[in-house]
Copies of this chain bind each other. A is one copy, B any other.
Amino acid sequence: MPAPGRFLLRLLPGWILRYPRQRLAEDLVAGLIVAFLALPQSLAYALLAGLPPQVGLYVSILPAIAYAWVGSSMVQAVGPVAITAIMTYTVLQPLATPGTPEYAGLAASLALLSGVLLTIGSLLRLGFLSQLLSRPVIQGFISGSAVLILLSQSRHLLGLESGSDSWPGLWAALLAQLAGGLGPAALIGLVALAVLALGRTLLEHALVRCGMAAARAKFIVRLLPLMVIAAASAVVLHFNLEARGIAVVGPLASGLPDFHWFLPDHASLGKLAVPAMLLALVGMVQNIAMAQALAIKRHERVDANSELLGLGAANMVAAVYGGMPVGGGVSRSALNVAAGAQSPLASIVTAATMGVIVYALASFFSHLPLAALAASIMVAAFSMIDLKSWREAWAYDRADGLAWLGTAGGVVFLGLERGIGLGIMLSLTTLLLRASTPHIARLGRIPGSEHFRNTDRHAVETLPEVVFLRIDESLFFGNQSAVEARIASELLETPTLRHVVLVMSAVNRVDTTAMEMLCDINRDLDERQIHLHLAEVKGPVHDRLHHSRLWPALSGQVFLSVNEAFEKLRLAAPRLTVPANKAPSPSWHP
């Protein structure tokens, strides 16, 4: 093959080169289905983000293709998702009025910034940062965000005019609305909400009872949102409700938008830097978690840093084409897998179909009432509130349950950024707090054996002048003072002590702070003529300590095993009971 051909081949993603032809049909069918199923949510999430609904369609096209090209997951689908949409809205709403060109520009800047951050993160291999968030924190964050979504959409659902997002403002408007009687928008919204909320289970039961196969019934139910918004549009058209002031999607730009090259100005960069980082972090966590879960199910592997690159590319494309941050979504990917997608080709087919839909059905969507879209968002948001995950976390581990509550409460009452900050703080504090109280066992020998066990739990032999302490945790700045305190209390309890042996079998690391603590302990024990010994030091720890200032200063020995220490110190003891007295250290007095 000539060189230019090879170069072009390299630009193609690996999955195209290895594509198994027999899967083509499955991918084509899945791609077509997902395009129709994801249509309502694509429109809805753009509305949720405070942008014109058609933007949701636009960013389901080229950004999805960019991810399919660059990402590493076979079945993850990228597009507008609930979490990034509500984050976009809460970040931008204080900065500009939704619907204005300024707002649209800020949304695009946010997508660009988070795309650039994700790409940089991928190049710096920062995928591990996604581990900053524990599952209870993520679940609390999603649940709290869902409450925010419900709050923000109840306005659209009821066709309220003025947009106060605070609790009292909203309730005041709601009461005023109810006092004045419900408008047509509220009627459509509430009916749509009822159909979507109750329809799922009722329809599935009904269909199965009518003799339909369970799988087919499940599929029909998935079409419900599409049917509801189509019906709502038809109602608006038929009764000419637009003339009565009902809010609709409105005329779409004819066909696809142009590319929109821009660089955010300095002022918006400053305002959006922290939100963009948060968006990148949350997008990364959601995307990697979903991709890994799917890959494990399908016996594939994903690479966290390729995922970052894919998500970064998708967001950068979304910035110039559509103008709204995108993510790898739970519901979107679930649709994709359920429709039978086998490779990113399905996502490309979905994107192409969406393009055709934008061309062909633009005029029909222009009559879609916002209230019906809001209803579909609210049903989705309601299913995102995962109280079961809280109950499980609380039952298993109070601290994790608290982190869940702190994150969810923080999101609802303090905002998204502070909420997730609080969650991270709570989980890191728990981690530090637990590691700072390490389990330390005083060991003795089981008579007639070479085994050593906790003196509190077993009948064991001990030596009167020697204490063996096993530390069940790596030594670092967080727990060094606990070790220091434990040794101090052993000294007070056993005044005859002449040897302290630290059993290091469970110590995987010793950081600088802990190494210096060991030096301090060694010096202080030495002043009291007590020897400090180490036993069962692991290879990597040994290598590091060997070059530290602890090694030459150590008053005792380093034993390979606890038993060796026990035997040697038992023999040495008689000679050690009267240690050579050192000269008192010089001190001055006037």
Contacts and interface: CB of A to CB of B under 8 A. Distances in A.
A219, A488, A527 — which one has the most chain B CB atoms within 10 A of its CB? A488
A502 B210 CA distance: 49
A286 to B, nearest CB: 14
A508 B473 contact: yes
A513 B136 contact: yes
A395 B547 contact: yes
Contacts of A511: 134, 397, 399-400
A440 to B, nearest CB: 11
Nearest to A478: B131
Contacts of A438: 508
A588 interface: yes
Contacts of A433: 128
A338 interface: yes
A221 to B, nearest CB: 10
Given A296-B524, A484-B296, A506-B506, A476 B515 contact: no
Interface string A212-251: 0111101100000000000000000000000000000000
B586 A214 contact: yes
A397 B439 contact: no
B136 A512 contact: yes
A547 to B, nearest CB: 7
Nearest to A216: B588
Q: How many A residues are at the interface, by size bracket?
A: 35 or more
Interface in A87-119: none
Contact of A135 (B135, B473, B491, B516): B516
Interface string A368-410: 0000000000000000000000001101110110000000000
Interface centre among A214, A219, A476 (most CB of B within 10 A): A476
Given A293-B520, A520-B296, A524-B296, A512 B392 contact: yes
Interface in A502-526: 506, 508-509, 511-513, 515-516, 520-521, 524
A324 to B, nearest CB: 29
Interface string A393-434: 101110110000000000000000000000000011001111
A164 B67 CA distance: 52
Contacts of A477: 131, 133-135, 137, 427
Given A131-B477, A393-B512, A29 B590 contact: yes
B296 A588 contact: no
The binding surface of chain A is classed by DSSP as helix
A292 interface: yes
A484 B397 contact: no
B512 A132 contact: no
B33 A508 contact: no
Contacts of A521: 296
B481 A135 contact: no
Nearest to A213: B588
A512 B397 contact: yes
Given A396-B548, A515-B396, A589-B215, A439 B508 contact: yes
A420 B402 CA distance: 27
B513 A135 contact: yes
Interface string A307-333: 000000000000000000000000000
Interface in A13-50: 29, 33
A136 B514 CA distance: 11
A458 interface: no
A504 B217 CA distance: 45
Interface in A182-215: 213-215
Interface string A457-483: 000000000000000111011110100
A575 interface: no
A456 to B, nearest CB: 12
| Interface hub of A432, A488, A513, A516 (most chain B Cβ within 10 A) | A513
A301 B589 contact: no
B131 A436 contact: yes
Given A297-B524, A434-B509, 14 more contacts: A128-B433, A131-B436, A131-B479, A136-B513, A214-B588, A215-B586, A215-B588, A292-B481, A392-B549, A395-B547, A396-B544, A427-B477, A472-B508, A506-B508
Interface of A: 29, 33, 128, 131-137, 213-216, 218-219, 292-293, 296-297, 299, 301, 338, 340, 392-393, 395-397, 399-400, 427-428, 431-434, 436, 438-439, 472-474, 476-479, 481, 484, 488, 491-492, 506, 508-509, 511-513, 515-516, 520-521, 524, 527-528, 544, 547-549, 586-590
25 contacts: A33-B590, A128-B436, A131-B477, A131-B478, A131-B481, A132-B432, A132-B478, A133-B477, A134-B477, A135-B477, A135-B512, A213-B588, A214-B586, A214-B588, A215-B586, A218-B588, A292-B481, A293-B520, A301-B492, A338-B588, A392-B549, A396-B512, A396-B515, A396-B547, A434-B509
